Amino acid sequence: MSFLSFIIPNLPGASSLFNSILGGLVSINTLVLGNLEALASTFSALLGAELRTLKAAIFGIIPEGLISIPVLNLQAEIADLIQLPPGLAYAAKLAEIEGNFGSAILAGARGYTLDSIVKAATGTLLPDAPRSLASVIPNMQQGIDGVIDFVADAIGSPISAVLEEVASVFPINTTINLLKGIFGDGYARNAIETTQALIGAHITEAEGRHNARSERLTAAVAAAQTVKRAVRAA
């Protein structure tokens, strides 16, 4: 395997950081191929060292401090709060949540208050609670930029908004392109309806013929029985 080398002057795309990652992958590949029959304990120690080196190389391209910045989610914070017993720790956590989300909850104008949210969430701890925490409190998230958004309230997902499902609509396009074999949905629908009508007509016609034949056979049997009785009587 070959990769760009940062020691080549002015080479477009060259990077010492990317080189260290690619070099780590090459080293791991070589290690695996060279230890296919090695003892698992020995191989595990060697592989662990290589993986730690690769992890350090990957984290080296992430801006400093970015990984340590938490993303706060109201549902997760409330879930932590209601697990705490009443006391100083509970009060401190509640004050922290109010400092992070209090103004956004009121500004959301959805009828929520922090007290009502905590009360609703606490109710989900009951053994016979019919609903989950995510279904009774709003899903709010504070990003690394400090902006707070209501997201995915209906499904309780902190990473994606709810998408409204649009009802299916059957187009009335009757385009016909025999060369390309393209037919509009409207044309297909009309063809299906026409075929259904023809099949229905054939079924009705066949049913009529069957009934007529059945009546003729019934009459013939009745006539034969009459003749038979007359012969016996004579």
Dump pLDDT digits (tens) for 20-71: 888 888 888 888 888 888 888 888 888 888 888 888 888 877 765 555 556 7
DSSP summary character for residue 163: P
Q: Do residues 184 and 176 touch, judged by C-beta distance below 8 A? A: yes
pLDDT tens-digit profile of 169-211?
656 666 677 666 666 777 777 888 888 888 988 898 888 888 8
pLDDT at 12: 64
Average pLDDT of every residue of the chain: 77
| 113 close to 106: Cβ distance less than 8 angstroms | yes
Helices (H) then strands (E): counts for the chain: 7, 5
To which H or E segment does residue 182 belong?
strand 182-183
pLDDT at site 57:
83
Note the pLDDT of residue 152: 55
| DSSP category for residue 86 | T
Q: Which residue has the higher pLDDT, 12 or 124?
A: 124
Tell me the per-residue pLDDT of 149-167, one tens digit each, with 9 for 90 and over.
Answer: 776 544 444 445 545 555 5
